[in-house]
Amino acid sequence: MKYITAFIKPHKLDEVREALNDVGVSGLSVTEIRGFGRQKGHKEIYRGAEYKVEFVAKLKVEVAVKAELAERVSETIVAAARTGSIGDGKVFIWDLESAVRIRTGEKDTAAI
């Protein structure tokens, strides 16, 4: 099993969700986060007081999949989330040791 964490631009969420649905991903989690990478923040001015906003709003998408599906899911996210401009985000793939579905007690691939 693999655990995939993707950082994407907020307005790309719907496209990513639809694309993942099409490749058979049946569930995912989304968190609003702030961060920075190569894309720097922006400047805000309030009555002459200038603030540099270093952290940019992003979404963190997390999804657990069977190992053989991981590469396809990653490619799908990259394709759906790409705009070509700086700040499109990143995808990380992790090894996942085990999983349990709380309601039924099912384990591992049956649980994801």
Could you list the residues that contact another protein (CB under 8 A)? 44-49, 51
Shortest Å distance, C-beta 84 to another protein: 25
**CB of 48 or CB of 84, closer to another protein:** 48
**CB of 42 or CB of 101, closer to another protein:** 42
Mapped to the 3 state alphabet, what secondary structure does 51-86 carry? EEECCEEEEEEEEEECHHHHHHHHHHHHHHHCCCCC
C-alpha closest to that of 73 among 88, 92, 99, 96: 92
Shortest Å distance, C-beta 37 to another protein: 20
Shortest Å distance, C-beta 13 to another protein: 23
**CB of 45 or CB of 86, closer to another protein:** 45
Shortest Å distance, C-beta 51 to another protein: 5
The 3-state DSSP composition of the chain as helix, strand, coil percent (nearest 5) reads 30, 40, 35
Encoded amino acid at 77, one letter? I
Which residue has 């995808």 as its token pair? 91
**CB of 43 or CB of 103, closer to another protein:** 43
